[in-house]
Amino acid sequence: MTKERDHLQTSYNTLTEEREQLKKETERLKQSLVEKECPQGWKKLGSRCYYISTKKNTWEKSRQDCRDNGADLVIINSQDKQTFVIWLCGVKDYVWIGLTDSVTEGTWKWVDDTPLTTTYWNSREPNGGVAENCAYFYSWSSDTGAWWDSGCSDQYRWICEK
């Protein structure tokens, strides 16, 4: 009995040690996922990656390009994100963002179907009614930018987020 007890105690100690090593390895792997690198050509902010296109396209085709790359058009729901998009966009450039009221006129929603809460519309925007259902971002200086509504078939660059 004593021999069997000692053997079980040794097995228990070994398994406990292995379990602790597995916990540490799991935490290391989780951390590496959080700190994942962005694909080449993408920029990182926090745990998210962003890509600004070099070509122009319609809102739908821009969104499809993002989706083809495992992303979607950018969602700007904080001042930090707005500031980052200003930096990413550059001066005097137009870029599609993931905001539309094409489902219900006047009800702006993000591409993930969340309602619009924080806004950075330019004054008197949105103003296009049924003719302008997609939103773009424009920066007129290195620290100022706002949103406009536009016809979804207009062609601008775009920003993807994943």
Residue spans per domain, the chain: 1-35, 43-161
What is 43-161's CATH number?
Answer: 3.10.100.10
Q: What pLDDT, in 10s, does the model give residues 102-152?
A: 999 989 999 999 989 888 999 999 998 889 999 999 988 777 889 999 999
As a three-state string, the secondary structure of the chain is: CHHHHHHHHHHHHHHHHHHHHHHHHHHHHHHHHHCCCCCCCCEEECCEEEEECCCCECHHHHHHHHHHCCCEECCCCCHHHHHHHHHHHCCCEEEEEEEECCCCCCCCEECCCCECCCCCECCCCCCCHHHCCEEEEEEEECCEEEEEEECCCCCEEEEEEC
Q: What is the pLDDT of residues 62-101, one digit of tens each?
A: 999 999 999 999 999 999 899 989 888 887 889 999 999 9
